[in-house]
Structure 1
Amino acid sequence: MSDPSAAAPEIASRPTQVFVASPIGSPGTDVHREALTTLDYIIRKALAPPTWHVLRADLESSPDSIGQGVVRRIIESDLIVVDLTNHNPNVFYELAIAHCYRRPVVLIATVGTSIPFDVADQRTIFYDLTSPKSVYAAQDQLLEAAKVALDNPELLVTPLTNMQRLSEITTKIESGDSDQLTRVLEDVASRLSRIERRLPDRTTPPEIVTGWVSREGGSATVHVGEPIRARATTLSDDTEVQELLKSLRNAIGAPKNDENDDTETDKD
């Protein structure tokens, strides 16, 4: 029988591996200095040892080429911190690899950086290296975002997320999964019903004023004609849309949307 007073063996825990994808720049340039400052005073301060191990490709002493090392590190790391400052092409390439392998990602950028539309729906932490308050705030936000990304990988939303879901749905439908098809139709019908309710009541078509310009000599005269009524065309007037709604409701047995039906409240 083992001695209960004996100390339990100490289990060494591996630090969380963090790969940083950021602009690097040539030594001596502003880009290089700012990148190192961001790495040392925001990223490494927020994700400090021994809990975290932060690495950037150009600072690694691996025998691999930088290209090979970057891909390997992205795939193997627990977390990827991506700095979108200056819209560096290499950084976006590395971000794309991280998305393909569904690695947890946290985006950061200097204040004033415009975020491209394809990643605009992902939260970005902004920082200002000239403001100590901003630097401290970015440290706190980065640590919190890193924990959330690691604890909730299913919350990661990327440009590939919807494509992967669509591929899975298509595969199920093609294999004869009628339940999956029903769920898709129900979702489409629900969305169209919400569109119907949000359409304005256009019972009175708007007025359109016609006009023309005549020129005589060096002057121009604007003539305004009588107002005419233009037919207001909305989705509610669109026969094709109405037929689609009717077909979808019949396919899934859904009740016809009624103007007085307030069982579902549309939330903008």
Structure 2
Amino acid sequence: MVSPIGPEGSPEREKADTTLKYLIKKALSPDFEVLRADDDTNPGAITPRIVQSILEADLVIADITGANANVFYELAIAHGYRKPTVHIQESSERPPFDIKDMRILPYDTTNPERLEKAQESLKAFVASALKNPEAIETPLRTAHQFEAARASGDVVAQTNVQIMEALDDLRAAVRSLMSRPTGGGGFRYPLTSLSASGDLPDDFDRAEYIRNLETRAKELTREVNTPGLVKLASPGAHLAARQELDEVRQKLREVYPSSAYL
């Protein structure tokens, strides 16, 4: 079980314990022995033991609730080693943009009826993950396929890789054009010019403004994490993109603090 844990007695620990006891163990016991990092009594270094436990696990349940950094670190290890993995998240939250296309099981431990449904759904998710782990979509799955194609010597496969990468760059370029004000249409106001507490135009559409901010945040995140893009060939351009991303995120905090792009 990969999960946010929190200090003993904290609200985060209470939520994690409730999820573990009433969702995970109820759904998986006695077929699985369910272990979480704090169950390990080994006195050695923590991180190597966690990595080892992921590599030895028959199944990984990852609770991404709260966007905990440690959880995503461990989740990346599970994805990298192609472990059968099921992703869960509190139903009140939205998944981060970079894994939002994966199947994520929502749950609500405060509602008994929904909790029972989540238990049944979890059993089905687990059965599917164990039956065909290669079919689980993760951000690293395509990367593995691309590397295999590059190493294969297959000209057709390598050409397909180049086409897919070119299409990905084209989509990014189109999103970039769409996310900036233009003289012939586009956004009715610059993304970073408005504040929830400032003067707003009469035609201000809050939902549209939030969508525009999130679109730009996603685009900029990809740019700053992909220095090889042509428009970020110089250190100055890369720095400018990071500064703009900070500005866009600040505006999101002002108008939509629960955004998955923060």
Interval containing the TM-score (normalised by the shorter chain): 0.5 to 0.7
Q: Which amino acid aligns with 2:17?
A: L
Q: Which residue pairs with 1:86 in the alignment? A: 66
Q: Which residue pairs with 1:66 in the alignment? A: 46
Deviation at 1:164, TM superposition (A): 1.3
Distance 1:181 1:98, change over 3 A: closer
What CA deviation, in whole Å up to 9, does each residue of 1:43-70 have, x standing for no partner? 0000001x21100011222233322221
Rg: which structure is higher? 1
Structure 1 CA distance for aligned equivalents of residues 82 and 159 of structure 2? 29
Deviation at 1:149, TM superposition (A): 0.2
Q: 1:28 aligns with which of 9, 15, 19?
A: 9
What CA deviation, in whole Å up to 9, does each residue of 1:84-128 have, x standing for no partner? 111111101110110111111101111121101221111111111
Q: 1:48 aligns with which of 3, 26, 29?
A: 29
Structure 2 CA distance for aligned equivalents of residues 181 and 143 of structure 1? 39
Structure 1 CA distance for aligned equivalents of residues 67 and 157 of structure 2? 40
What CA deviation, in whole Å up to 9, does each residue of 1:175-232 have, x standing for no partner? 3x345467779x88xx9xxxxxxxxxxxxxxxx89xxxxxxxxxxxxxxxxxxxxxxx
Provide the TM-score with structure 2 as the length reference: 0.59
Q: Which amino acid aligns with 2:68?
A: N
Q: 2:130 aligns with which of 125, 129, 150?
A: 150
Structure 2 CA distance for aligned equivalents of residues 71 and 181 of structure 1? 33
2:23–2:109 Cα contact (<8 Å) kept: no
Structure 1 CA distance for aligned equivalents of residues 160 and 67 of structure 2? 40
What CA deviation, in whole Å up to 9, does each residue of 1:2-36 have, x standing for no partner? xxxxxxxxxxxxxxxxxx01110111111111100
Distance 1:178 1:127, change over 3 A: closer
Structure 1 gap ranges (5+): 1-19, 192-207, 210-268
Q: Which residue pairs with 2:230 in the alignment? A: none
Structure 2 gap ranges (5+): 168-183, 186-262
Structure 2 CA distance for aligned equivalents of residues 105 and 128 of structure 1? 20
Between Structure 1 and Structure 2, how many residues are aligned?
A: 167
Greater share of helix: 2
Greater share of strand: 1
RMSD (Å) for aligned C-alpha atoms: 2.2
Provide the TM-score with structure 1 as the length reference: 0.58
Structure 1 CA distance for aligned equivalents of residues 27 and 159 of structure 2? 47
Percentage of identical aligned residues = 41
Q: Which amino acid aligns with 2:151?
A: T
Structure 1 CA distance for aligned equivalents of residues 10 and 158 of structure 2? 57
Structure 2 CA distance for aligned equivalents of residues 154 and 99 of structure 1? 11
Structure 2 CA distance for aligned equivalents of residues 37 and 182 of structure 1? 50
